[in-house]
Amino acid sequence: MDWATLENECKTCQKCALGATRQNCVFGTGNQNADLLFVGEAPGEQEDLSGIPFVGRAGQLLDRFLYAVDIPREKVYIANILKCRPPHNRDPLPEEEDACIGFLRDQVRLIRPKVIVCLGRISAARLIKPDFKITKEHGVWFEKGGFAMTAVYHPAFLLRDPRKKEEMLTDMQGVRAKLREMGAL
């Protein structure tokens, strides 16, 4: 499957109830040949309105962390597990994740990143391991499916608890170090 076909399938998807309530499908954004893929959980209100992931306050904070560790946003790809916004920004339901995960898997196959960074507990629990504990395992590296994977705090969480920003900076420095180690970026 090529990129345009996959994106069109996603934009017309009705596999779960969220397809009927979305403003926009939030497929993903960035470099389709990126070495680094960030995966969040689901679009928020600003993302649903724009059709682009991580453009609200959480996205602006992510941009600041990328800048701080010298990773240009235009060199990464950013996606979510869900491509449609859950009502009131609630956590994704398992059946919504199941309906949508195929799109992310196809994106990963097309991008072929070297490093996948989960933004928050929900994406880490889906992609790394079901019992992932973000407070204990953020910044820890896993090898899964031929990818180097880690999870960091979700930027929206950092907006609510800024005391964790120093840990996030350390984790993002670790992402940059892993990319260098792999000869990426």
The number of beta carbons lying within 10 Å of the beta carbon of residue 120 is 22
C-alpha 98 chain-centroid distance: 16
Number of domains within the chain: 1
User: What is the structure's pLDDT at 1?
Assistant: 87
Residue type, 138: H
Is residue 158 domain-resident? yes
> Which residue segment(s) compose the domain that 36 sits in?
3-175
The answer to whether residue 183 is domain-embedded is no
Give the rounded distance of the alpha carbon of 107 from its chain centre. Answer: 12
pLDDT of residue 35: 97
Cβ-count burial of 158 within 10 angstroms (0-12 exposed, 13-18 middle, 19+ buried)?
buried
**What pTM was computed for the model?**
0.97
Rg (CA), the chain: 15
Q: Does any domain span residue 184? A: no
CATH number of the domain to which 155 belongs: 3.40.470.10
How many Å apart are CA 74 and CA 50, to the nearest integer? 18
The answer to whether position 182 is within a domain reads no
Per-residue pLDDT of the chain (185 residues; tens, 9 = 90+): 899 999 999 999 999 999 999 999 999 999 999 999 999 999 999 999 999 999 999 999 999 999 999 999 999 999 999 999 999 989 999 999 999 999 999 999 999 999 999 999 999 999 999 999 999 999 999 999 999 999 999 999 999 999 999 999 999 999 999 999 999 97
Q: What are residue 57's phi and psi, to 5 degrees?
A: -60, -40
CB atoms within 10 A of CB 123: 28
Would 101 be classed as within a structural domain? yes
